[in-house]
Amino acid sequence: MRRHPYRRTAALAALAIVGLASLAACGGEDDAGGGSSGPTTLRLGYFPNITHAPAVVGVEKGIFAEKLGSDVKLETKTFNAGPAAIEAIFSGALDATYIGPNPTVNAHSKSKGEAVRVISGAASGGVALVVKPEITSVEQLRGKKIATPQLGNTQDVALRFWLKEKGITTTKEGGGDVKIVPQENAQTVETFGSGAIDGAWVPEPFVSRLVNAGGKVLVDERDLWPDRKFVITNLIVSTKFLKAHPDVVKKLVEAQVAANAFVTANPDQAHQAISDHIGKITGKPLDLKLIKQAWPTLEFTNDPIASSLKTGLDHAVAVGLTQPVSLDGLYDLTYLNEVLKAQGKPEVSQP
């Protein structure tokens, strides 16, 4: 049987077209940084609360979209706890996130220093121990129940170490001189009001909510740190994304610096943006009076205050909640300092 060369050529051409169409379809899927045919996708995480104000305001006011530009497609994801955000980075579902110091250390430790890099600070302060008004000294905490957001989280470590320094014992199981009760912050407001707990070491806006529920601040955590500064929120990026898209990471840092400048210079607009944005996420805008009450306890800074993260790790080791970990390589402030220098602002020392 005679072959028809033209039919064979047409068949091969058809197969080639199908193959190219398949490749184009695959390339159009913007995963973990996107394809070469379209904008790079940046998946950014943050928490819908006051201590993540630069992220909340930056997204709500379009600061991130502006600084990232048309070549970057911004996708945002919100979280209520650090471990969930870290798991999203580990699974490849997230490229960068605003997060607290303890989850940052855990991510660095679990990945043996490979998974994440701190590229900027975001916020300092905004944490306190609020107690029943009749409690006026640390000694009166003996036999009392004090809540923290989560066993081993940043505030939990701070409370346990502070009590340890005062000669007061605690255990991970809730025993000792002071019984520590890890629970969700929203639940803490209810249990404090009902008398089930006697106080809580929590971040804003829950400090203000507890004060409004009849509590008083026994310890402002700022008073325990040099210059009253300690990291409550920093910005981290996956090393995979950093290596693949350094240009996008620099733009992200530019957006963070711009957002910090905005919330500092325009507090009233920032308060409204936070209230509106949280309302879009949760269905209930955050009370403006509560935001204004909490605001003075926070400082929005591009400095990640690395020394406080290291000290916090030392505290966690001292109270038996973690093992010593090397923090070598955790910080990469190259782009932050480039951005600050270009704006004539003081650079941040690389740890």
Confidence (pLDDT) at 50? 95
Residues 280 and 338 in one domain: yes
Residues 224 and 238 in one domain: no
Residues 101 and 233 in one domain: yes
- pLDDT tens-digit profile, the chain (351 residues): 444 444 444 444 443 434 433 333 333 334 455 445 689 999 999 999 999 999 999 999 999 999 999 999 999 999 888 888 999 999 999 999 999 998 999 999 999 999 999 999 999 999 999 999 999 999 999 999 999 998 888 899 999 999 999 999 999 999 999 999 999 998 999 999 999 999 999 999 999 999 999 999 999 999 999 999 999 999 999 999 999 999 999 999 999 999 999 999 999 999 999 999 999 998 999 999 999 999 999 999 999 999 999 999 999 999 999 889 999 999 999 999 999 999 999 999 988
For the chain, what is the domain count?
2
Confidence (pLDDT) at 89? 97
Residues 64 and 150 in one domain: no
Residue 257 domain flag:
yes
Residue 326 domain flag:
yes
Confidence (pLDDT) at 75? 98
| 42 in Cβ contact with 74 (< 8 Å) | yes
What DSSP character marks residue 1? -
Residues 256 and 318 in one domain: yes
Q: What's the CATH number where 62 sits?
A: 3.40.190.10
Q: Which of 153, 131, 190, 152 is nearest to 51 (CA)?
A: 153
Residue 23 domain flag:
no
Residue 264 domain flag:
yes
Residue 19 domain flag:
no
Residues 238 and 333 in one domain: yes
Q: Which residues contact 218 (CB under 8 A, 6 or more apart)?
A: 128, 129, 130, 131, 135, 136, 138, 199
Confidence (pLDDT) at 36? 53
- What are the tokens at 169? 């014992």
pTM: 0.85
Examine the fold and report which residue of 228, 260, 286 is the final residue of a domain before the chain moves on.
Answer: 228
Residues 254 and 339 in one domain: yes
Residues 118 and 244 in one domain: yes
Examine the fold and report which residue of 209, 228, 247 is the final residue of a domain before the chain moves on.
Answer: 228
Distance CA 262, CA 169 (A): 43
Confidence (pLDDT) at 299? 97
Whole domain around residue 80: which residue ranges?
40-124+229-343
In sequence order, what DSSP letters do the residues of 152-206 get, joined into one string?
A: TSHHHHHHHHHHHHTT--B-TTS-BSSEEEE--HHHHHHHHHHTS-SEEEEETTH
Confidence (pLDDT) at 57? 98
Residues 338 and 242 in one domain: yes
Confidence (pLDDT) at 127? 96
Confidence (pLDDT) at 277? 96
Examine the fold and report which residue of 182, 202, 228 is the final residue of a domain before the chain moves on.
Answer: 228
Residues 73 and 186 in one domain: no
Residue 194 domain flag:
yes
Residue 24 domain flag:
no
Confidence (pLDDT) at 98? 98
Residue 11 domain flag:
no
Confidence (pLDDT) at 7? 42
Residues 138 and 192 in one domain: yes
Residues 115 and 133 in one domain: no
